[in-house]
Every structure is written in C-alpha cells, then in structure tokens.
Structure 1
C-alpha cells in the first residue's frame, strides 16, 4: 500500500510542476489573444485528449515535460491551395467549416474549386462552383475538417508572431515565472509544516527511522523522545547525541526514551556505513519546533530561494567545466526515484523537494539552450534590437536541433539510471 502511495505522490509531483509551468505559458498567451491549439503534459502518443473551447488538452505517454502549442509558432499543418476542390458550410452567410476530404459524404455544403483563399488576413474564399465564381466571407473561428479532425483557422491577429515582442516574451517567460512562484509558496508551506526550532530546546526526538537499520530493529519509531543514552542525559543537545552515536560504532548503547509519555529502554549497536564517518543507527534526530509566523515564513521562503538558486548554478558550473561524471546526472528515472525517497519521509519533506524541483525547472528552462524558453527569449531579444524577426525557418531549425540533442542526452542519462538501478 505504501508503495502505491509513493508512486502516486511521485507522479503527482511531476504533474504539478509541469502543469504549473505550461499553465503560465497558456494563460499569458490567452491574455495576449493568441490561439492556443494544444495544452499538453508529456510527449509522445496521446493517452488522454479532451477539447474545451479553442484548446485541446492532452496527456501524453512520456513524462519528460510538456508544451503549449500556439498558432503561428510553427508552420500550419494544413494548407489550402488554388485549384483544390473543397466543400464549405455556411451559417449567417459566413463559412464556418471548410471540408478538405471525403467531399461526397458531406451534407448541406457548397462544393467548388478554390480560385483564391486567404484565411489569415482577408478571411475570404472564392470558389468556382459549376463555372460561376462566388466569394464567401470566412468566420474568424471557422474549422477546417480533414482526416476526421477539426482544426480551427488562425487569423494573423490570433497568431504568436502578430503580437508585440513584449507580449510574446511574457508568454514565454510566464512558464518559468510560475515555477518560481510555486517554489516560493512551497518553501513557505514547508516551514509551516516543519515548524521553526524553539529557543533553548529541552529534548531531542526521532524524526525519521530508516528501515533495516539498528534503530528500526530495536523498535524505535518516529516521535520517540530521547531521555538519556548510556545514562547520560541528552536534553536538547542534538550534536551530543550524534557524536555519541558516531563514537560507538560496534558498541552496544542503552537508550532511555519516552513514547506517548511512557518510559521505554532499548539496546542498539551503531553500524558503519560506506562513505560516512563513525557509527550510524538510522535515525534523523530533530529538535522541538514551533509554528512559524507569517513574517518568518516569508523570510525563510526568500532565503531558501536564494540559497537553492546558488546551489543550482554551482551545479551548472561544475557541469560546464567538466567537474562531473555521468552518474552525477539524473533523468526522469532518478528524479522519480529520489521523489519516492522524499515521499517516504513525509509530506513536509516531499513539499520541500517539490519546491526545489520547481525552482530547478524554472531556472533550467531560462538557460539559452535551443528548444528551451531561454533560447526563445534570446531570439526575441535579437528581434527587438534589429527591428525585425529572424527567419522563422532558421529559428525552427535551431530549436529542432536543440530538442533532438536534449532528447539524446535524456536517453543516455535514462539508460545510465536504469543500468545503475539494475546493478543496485
């Protein structure tokens, strides 16, 4: 049952931080008047799809991100050319549907050969219907129907490229911005859940107990208050407890604890752990806490944002200058693994980890790497300076190459993660 809960919480963490990121893109694109064709979580084949309003919401198979597809960002997939035979359906003297195939099956339509058509600016189509040319006005939200799919047309004023540089930049930057806001909120929630250390604590208690370690084998549980060890009162001296455990590797220790107000004596023997100094018993000793005030919560959240941002950039620095091994990188597999470990430690630790992941996702997406938000902002910055956009085909090629390289790196890291798990 616990495993099912851990898996569910791990998936929920991924879903929350990716959804809030894409929601940022989505909401600011809509505010700018851009037609959003798809709001997707994940990549690859569709698992779930639902259309509401102008947007199709999809859940895709591969949990490695998400995207918001805005009209005009990429070449439109359907193009109608003069000389092509189509069928149109009218409502209030405007074309509301353009049928591109299976024309013989369409009912209550006008069928003809396209003489001219403009679905971006003029919103009109001229058809040759049995030798007579007739021009029809096209509704701004008309649908093209092809291969059983309805695709809404995108007039130029609904396309990404028609908006000012500022509006486009905001639609792109809003994704990372929402991750920063989420991280700040979650850091605040964490300190509310974990509490602030009290001044002059009078006792140390057990926060977490690691399975199969001496503490767990001796029956210690989360919440036990440690009175004395080997007859020495611990009080609120957490560092003394840790030092005593480290110095007692391989030596039995007599612990006197309080559980729900009842005294209990146990004997346990600290063991060594690879790569760690001294003996370990498998507990996280914590001090008593109090509820954080509103001011303390804001202060802690701000400090946590600054500290973790420095740590993240230090990681990037080591990556750039080659001070890392492949094992130091982690893909979706390791992220889910670590998320599961935090989920086992309680909702407070999972909240802290989710805040860190959200902050990392926001910062990573702002790096000037092709296919990421940072690269798109660089192209917009260049456009702002030179007064005209870079050739969309060239920009699309840069993003495509960048995306392909990221996917190759992701595959290599994921393969290494799986190999590491198999080898234990």
Structure 2
C-alpha cells in the first residue's frame, strides 16, 4: 500500500506540473482550455470553473489539457439540421439545442441553412413558418447535446488562431515545468537535508576488491584518474563505471603524499548495460547553505538532463539495449524500492523522474510534445502550417507505435520482476 500511495502521489504530481505548464501558457495566450485532466479513463472527480472542466480520472498514468480547436473539438451545423435556439436580451443566440425533442415555449426551432460558430458567429435557417431568418450568436453561447454542455469557441480563442511563437511556448511549457519542478525538488533537498560536499574521499575499501588489491585505503583523497583531474566523488565514479575490465591508473593524496595505483574495475552487468566497479564506499557529508542549495538545484537538474540525453544517445547507437528500458511497472517497482530508503531518497527519485518525463516528451516523435514542436518547425520553415489531416494521421500512427513500445517495455518489466 505504501508503494501504491507513493507512486500515485509522485506520478500524479509530475503529470500535474507538466499539464499545468500547458494550461498556464494556453491561458496566457488567450486559448480556451476546455478540460484540465489528471489521469485517463472514467472521471472520479469533476469540477467546472468558468470555461474549464477540472477532472481526476481513474488511471493515474498521464493527463491532458484539452484546448479549443484541437482534434474534433469544433461543432459544425450542416444544412437541414433541426436545432433549438434560445435568445438573450440582445436577440443573440445564447443556447443551442441539438436534441430533436425539446419542449420549451421559449425555444425557437430552425432548419439550418448555414451556420458559422467559429468566425462570423451566426445561424441562418427556416423557422416554423418556413421563413428564412438569421441570428447572431453570442461569444458565450452554449451547445446542449444529449445532456452535455459545450461552450462555443470563437476562432480567436482557438489554439490554431494564435501566433506560432505562442503555440510553441504553450506546447514547450509542459516539459519546461517538469525541469522547473525537478529544480525545486533538488533545491528543497539542499535546504532541508543539506548539500552533499561530494568530496572524492574513500570511506571504506571492500576486501578482495580491485581497489583493495591495488593498495587503496580508507581516507585516500582521489585526485586523478587516467590523467583526468577529479574533485568530485560523482566524477570519480562516472569514470570508473565507463571502464569495465580496463586498466585504470588512480592517483590519491594520502596524508600529503601522492600515491599512484593501477587497477582493473570488475565488470558488473545491470539490465543489459555493463559498467565498472572497484569496491570502494563513500560516506556522504552535507552542509547547509541557501546559496549552495540554489546552485545544487541548478547543477543537479543540468547533470541529470545531460545523463538522460547521454543514455538516449547510447540507445540510438546500440550501446544500451531496449530491453533495459522500463515502463510503468518498472517505475512502480523502483518507486517502492526508493520509498524504503526514506523521504529524501524518494524526493530525489521524483526529481529524476520529472526530468525524464520532460525529456521523453521533447523527443521529436509523433503524438508527443516534441512531435508537435517538429510540425511547428516545419510551419516556420514553410511559412504555412502542415495540412491538419496529414498531421493528424502522423500523430495517430505515432500513438499506435508508442502503445506498442509501452507493451514491449511493460512485458520486459513483468519478465524482469516477476519471472
């Protein structure tokens, strides 16, 4: 139960901040947001505030911000369609009923001849006496159909009506907010728990390990690895991990004396990826400073962005196997493991996941934010947008491929953790 709660809180928070980025920038650009949803599937909770419906849905595996003008959002009244109209004091249409059987003396019935609920905002048709009449439509008109209410979206409130820069910022804001969230989590860790000194000092040497056999001792201060100066523990471990089975020369400061040692890191394999290990332990020490906490938040965010991009590069070049990728099951399992090590470890894990979510969404793949940004790039180069039907087809294919990939990584997770 602890794992379930931790997973829902962490993943829900990451999705919330991602969608919040889209939402705030859409509102800033004047785009009508029809729904702000956390999760997918049937609604658990729904609250309407002005023009936006805020929902929590049953599957906590994502979310979305539904903006006016996207996909099949617009309503088109075709000639011959019978509608009921309710007018306001200015004789503008404020309510449009698409149900064919309505009993209300205040409603006017028309057989539609032509209508525009986006740009010109009018409805023209034949009334009960067969006379052709035309009514202006209020910008706040509501469409009623089968118990559902939909506020019309004048063209200037639709996503596609906005300048290219505004659309780019609205889509990019989702991943951006994931990076911002990660920064604030690292900042909070630095303020509450302190900033790791990260000094490359050996705390313990494991017996019968490569480091033990080379003569390394507790208290040694690492200064250089294979000619590369080292002043952080993370720099030291990264170099060692990249050299499994290779000769490595390490220089340490031991009580003021520089000692040079040669060792061969053991080859350790995890999820199809090999890395080096020499058998030493590190005892983290922390210091509290608001200035250093700010720096820590920024540097950790930048470091993990670089690491994840490096990992993606290895995936493309074949150095990292797709079998090592994890989906929701793997993230759930890892979240449970992290929860056992305390709240600070869990917070650190949440920051890494937030960065990962931001980067994954920026990949130039159909159906992701990066795919949409790629189409905006084409629009900027061509001077006109890509045909909506073609773009929609590309995104549809992308969704199918992403679903296949999700099934593959989920199956990998199931085999890895349960068989």
Q: Return the offset for 1:286.
A: 3.8
Q: Return the offset for 1:29.
A: 0.6
- Cα distance in 2 for partners of 1:199, 1:415 equals 38
Q: Does 1:10 align with 2:44?
A: no
Deviations 1:118-159 (A, max 9, x none): 111111112311212222111112111112101111111111
- Cα distance in 2 for partners of 1:153, 1:197 equals 54
Q: Judging changes above 3 Å, is the alpha-carbon distance between structure 1 residues 172 and 112 closer, same or farther for their aligned structure 2 residues?
A: same
Q: 2:412 aligns with which of 389, 409, 416?
A: 416
Q: Judging changes above 3 Å, is the alpha-carbon distance between structure 1 residues 301 and 198 closer, same or farther for their aligned structure 2 residues?
A: closer
Q: 2:65 aligns with which of 45, 63, 68?
A: 68
Q: 1:390 aligns with which of 371, 376, 386?
A: 386
Match of 1:155 in 2: 154
Q: Secondary structure of 1:103's match?
A: coil
Within 5 Å, give how 1:107-256 maps onto structure 2: 108-129=106-127, 130-197=129-196, 239-243=202-206
- Cα distance in 2 for partners of 1:180, 1:375 equals 19
Match of 1:90 in 2: 87
Match of 1:23 in 2: 20
Q: Does 1:303 align with 2:299?
A: yes
- Cα distance in 1 for partners of 2:284, 2:170 equals 45
Q: Does 1:375 align with 2:394?
A: no
Q: Judging changes above 3 Å, is the alpha-carbon distance between structure 1 residues 127 and 349 closer, same or farther for their aligned structure 2 residues?
A: same
Q: Judging changes above 3 Å, is the alpha-carbon distance between structure 1 residues 240 and 113 closer, same or farther for their aligned structure 2 residues?
A: closer
- Cα distance in 2 for partners of 1:112, 1:332 equals 51
Q: Judging changes above 3 Å, is the alpha-carbon distance between structure 1 residues 113 and 196 closer, same or farther for their aligned structure 2 residues?
A: closer
- Cα distance in 1 for partners of 2:119, 2:194 equals 59
Q: Return the offset for 1:246.
A: 7.0
Q: Return the offset for 1:41.
A: 1.8
Q: Return the offset for 1:326.
A: 4.2
Within 5 Å, give how 1:314-333 maps onto structure 2: 314-333=310-329
Q: Judging changes above 3 Å, is the alpha-carbon distance between structure 1 residues 179 and 240 closer, same or farther for their aligned structure 2 residues?
A: closer
Q: 1:358 aligns with which of 354, 357, 360?
A: 354
Q: Judging changes above 3 Å, is the alpha-carbon distance between structure 1 residues 44 and 401 closer, same or farther for their aligned structure 2 residues?
A: farther
- Cα distance in 1 for partners of 2:190, 2:323 equals 32
Q: Secondary structure of 2:102's match?
A: helix
The TM-score normalised by the length of structure 2 is: 0.78
Bigger mean CA offset, 104-113 vs 18-27: 104-113
Match of 1:79 in 2: 76
Deviations 1:29-68 (A, max 9, x none): 1111111112122233333333221112222333332211
Deviations 1:85-108 (A, max 9, x none): 110111222211111114334452
Tell me if the contact between 1:63 and 1:332 (Cα under 8 Å) persists in the aligned partners: no
The TM-score normalised by the length of structure 1 is: 0.77
Match of 1:53 in 2: 50
Tell me if the contact between 1:189 and 1:351 (Cα under 8 Å) persists in the aligned partners: no
Q: Secondary structure of 2:69's match?
A: coil
User: What residue ranges of structure 1 are gaps of 5+ in the alignment?
Assistant: 201-236, 248-273
- Cα distance in 2 for partners of 1:287, 1:389 equals 53
Q: Does 1:289 align with 2:286?
A: yes
Q: Judging changes above 3 Å, is the alpha-carbon distance between structure 1 residues 416 and 287 closer, same or farther for their aligned structure 2 residues?
A: closer
Q: Return the offset for 1:285.
A: 7.1
- Cα distance in 1 for partners of 2:182, 2:57 equals 25
Match of 2:341 in 1: 345
Tell me if the contact between 1:190 and 1:349 (Cα under 8 Å) persists in the aligned partners: no
Tell me if the contact between 2:2 and 2:336 (Cα under 8 Å) persists in the aligned partners: no
- Cα distance in 2 for partners of 1:365, 1:98 equals 38
Q: Return the offset for 1:409.
A: 0.8
Q: Judging changes above 3 Å, is the alpha-carbon distance between structure 1 residues 107 and 355 closer, same or farther for their aligned structure 2 residues?
A: farther
Tell me if the contact between 1:42 and 1:62 (Cα under 8 Å) persists in the aligned partners: yes
